[in-house]
Chain A
Amino acid sequence: MTQNASQELLRIRDLSVTFTTRERSVRAVDQVSFDVRPGEVVGLVGESGCGKSVTSLSILGLHEKATGRVAGSIRLGERELLGASAPELRAVRGNRVSMIFQDPLTSLNPYLRVEEQLGEVLELHLNLRGAAARARMLEMLSQVGIPGEERLRAYPHQLSGGMRQRICIAMALLCNPELLIADEPTTMLDVTIQAQILELLRSLQKLRRMSILFITHDLGVVSEICDRVIVMYAGRIVEQARTADLLHAPLHPYTEALLRSTPRVDVPGGGSLHPIGGLPPRLSAAKLKECAFVPRCPRAREGCRNGEPELVSAGGERLRRCIVPVSEMGSARS
């Protein structure tokens, strides 16, 4: 193992996920490769149905197994997760890699008290029970900003949405995971709670030096928390850059369009919003004959229809999948 390879915590190479039904095949994720380094927060951005969630679920082998097929390589440290046995995966889940979900209403079992939900992780991975487990839970709860023992006895329906999301975060962090996958954890919360949860995640991440793979469609959220951003469209990576670079000067028309459709507070009068016309393409398993974004792209030109562009370096860590010259990008910005 070279020095270089062991630097990454999560190393995904050529990940493809294909769902096959009786009628057709859908490639939800197509040849996706990226890394997450220790202590880094990576954003995975794109609109609904572009493959963000499928990518994150397949990391832990939690995609729909009846119809879905995963190819490629997913390494966690030195360990290949793709094709790992069920007990091997169970040992990783919740322990080295955890996940929090979009909807805190449905991610807690309505029939279990908070202490029972939290206790399950401790019992499964650390074999902790009774007073020791309780002490650990209380410590974790105070870390996520829920003090007091009485909350341990509560059922999910007695807690607010923000509190439930905090419980989910506590549950995910109980075993000190190296990587937290956050699948739109703030989407279902209202704006003030959203800010609190982001703040909480950021401080916990700094404190524990853990990595976060942050899935969202909200570039405002990205600017708050992510070090690096990966933009996905139609199951492919279309751009990858450090957060500041991406927000300042997007190098793919899709990223640009996403930014133009996001409300801004730093522009006087708020600026006008420009929605992206049309819908993402219907996915299939066939190879593309043109750039996937071409039907909706304001910068589309003749060359865009001659096969799908490659994902190429645009200097430093930046990657882009577009043939429009970098010098032309940004000029059309209003």
Chain B
Amino acid sequence: MTKSPFQLAMQRLLNNRVAVVGAVLLTLMVLGCVLLPIVLKLDPSSTHPALRNQAPSARFLFGTDGLGRDLLARVLVGGRTSLLVGLAATAVSVVVGVAYGAIAGFYGGKVDEAMMRLVDFMYGLPYMFLVILIMLMFAETARGDMLPVFLALGLVQWLTMARIVRGQVLALRRQEFVLAAELLGASDARILIRHVLPNVFGVIMVYATLMVPSVIILESFLSFLGLGVALSWGQLVSEGIAVINPIRSYWWILLWPSLFLALTLISLNFLGDGLRDALDPKGRT
């Protein structure tokens, strides 16, 4: 059985215990957020005026919030938003960043120069300000629609991806097998797609995995500021903080969303680190 370099890397990943724990936790988190509310028929918005600020109990495993809403339901449904935003915004930035960086690195010279100066310029802009601006622009026209969030976050995150891919492609460009493909008569598009990009795939995957948590944090931050468009972990954390006071603290309102957020971020980082080790060409055995 002949194994491709990619299969070998996946094998190394499976031998990395921390990365496997991360992957398992992440899978559980995704499945839980997507399926549990359906299976358990949980409703995040129905209120129980008589059961406000209840501590965790058999009826409400995670307790209830100030309006008597089930916190378990709210954390799981909020998780859907956070994970979806993380994935979709990362996808946007991967598509834009990889295409942009690959073209700049492949053609080099003046094309590269011009394209990367634009990236430098955009790096210089205060990105949080930019995101908030985009969100406010869409706030009126598309209430409750998450597309603007994906776009706003994706459009500030692609810059790093573009730089990374450009550097990798620039180095690969003068590799002999790329030269060999060129002198065998392959067109530019073919060389890029068939010979260059597969060799950058590992790096792209690692950075994408590490980008998801940073996007989730960004979205949580926006929600925390009240700029979120849907129920998410960030919004729940913000609600939880609001009810913390020295006289009576409803700690569970803050604990659950924070815990879920932290667990997701940690497992994504574990998985990303594991991928980086597994795909590192120097670690080949």
Residues of B contacting A101 in the complex (Cβ-Cβ under 8 angstroms): 176, 179-180
Contact in complex: B5, A157 (CB < 8 Å) = yes
Measured CB to CB, the closest approach of chain B to A107, in angstroms, equals 4
State the interface size on chain A (CB cutoff 8 A): 35
B126 part of interface (Cβ distance < 8 Å):
no
Residues of B contacting A95 in the complex (Cβ-Cβ under 8 angstroms): 185
- Assuming the contacts A107-B176, A111-B199, asked whether A120 and B181 have C-beta atoms less than 8 A apart, the reply is yes
Contact in complex: B183, A109 (CB < 8 Å) = no
Residues of B contacting A171 in the complex (Cβ-Cβ under 8 angstroms): 180, 184
Contact in complex: B180, A111 (CB < 8 Å) = no
Residues of A within 8 A of B (CB): 60, 62, 65-67, 90-95, 98-99, 101-103, 106-113, 120-121, 124-125, 153-155, 157-158, 168, 171
Interface residues of B, dominant DSSP:
helix
Query: Across the two chains, which residue of chain B brings its CB closest to A59?
Result: B183
Which 8 interchain pairs have the tightest Cβ spacing?
Answer: A66-B109, A94-B184, A107-B176, A94-B185, A93-B185, A111-B198, A90-B185, A106-B176
Chain B positions 167 through 186: 1 when the CB is less than 8 Å from some CB of chain A, otherwise 0: 00000000111011111111
B169-224 CB contacts (< 8 Å) to partner A: 175-177, 179-187, 194-195, 198-199
- Assuming the contacts A66-B108, A106-B175, A111-B6, asked whether A93 and B180 have C-beta atoms less than 8 A apart, the reply is no
Residues of B contacting A155 in the complex (Cβ-Cβ under 8 angstroms): 2-5
B253-274 CB contacts (< 8 Å) to partner A: none
B282 part of interface (Cβ distance < 8 Å):
no
B284 part of interface (Cβ distance < 8 Å):
yes
Other than the known A90-B186, A101-B180, what 6 A-B pairs have Cβ atoms closer than 8 Å? A93-B185, A98-B184, A99-B180, A107-B176, A109-B195, A157-B5
Measured CB to CB, the closest approach of chain B to A148, in angstroms, equals 13
Contact in complex: A62, B179 (CB < 8 Å) = yes
Interface residues of A, dominant DSSP:
loop
17 A-B pairs (CB sep. < 8 Å): A66-B108, A91-B185, A94-B185, A99-B183, A106-B177, A107-B176, A109-B177, A109-B181, A109-B195, A109-B198, A109-B199, A111-B4, A111-B6, A113-B4, A121-B185, A155-B5, A157-B284
State the interface size on chain B (CB cutoff 8 A): 25
Query: Across the two chains, which residue of chain B brings its CB closest to A174?
Result: B184
Measured CB to CB, the closest approach of chain B to A62, in angstroms, equals 6
Residues of A contacting B179 in the complex (Cβ-Cβ under 8 angstroms): 62, 101, 107
Contact in complex: B184, A120 (CB < 8 Å) = yes
A121 to B177 alpha-carbon distance, docked (Å): 13
Residues of A contacting B2 in the complex (Cβ-Cβ under 8 angstroms): 113, 153-155, 158
Residues of B contacting A112 in the complex (Cβ-Cβ under 8 angstroms): 194-195, 198
Residues of A contacting B110 in the complex (Cβ-Cβ under 8 angstroms): 66
Residues of B contacting A106 in the complex (Cβ-Cβ under 8 angstroms): 175-177
- Assuming the contacts A110-B199, A120-B181, asked whether A90 and B187 have C-beta atoms less than 8 A apart, the reply is yes
A60 to B186 alpha-carbon distance, docked (Å): 13
A125 to B186 alpha-carbon distance, docked (Å): 9
Contact in complex: B5, A120 (CB < 8 Å) = no
Query: Across the two chains, which residue of chain A brings its CB closest to B201?
Result: A111
Residues of B contacting A90 in the complex (Cβ-Cβ under 8 angstroms): 185-187
A103 to B6 alpha-carbon distance, docked (Å): 23
Measured CB to CB, the closest approach of chain B to A298, in angstroms, equals 37
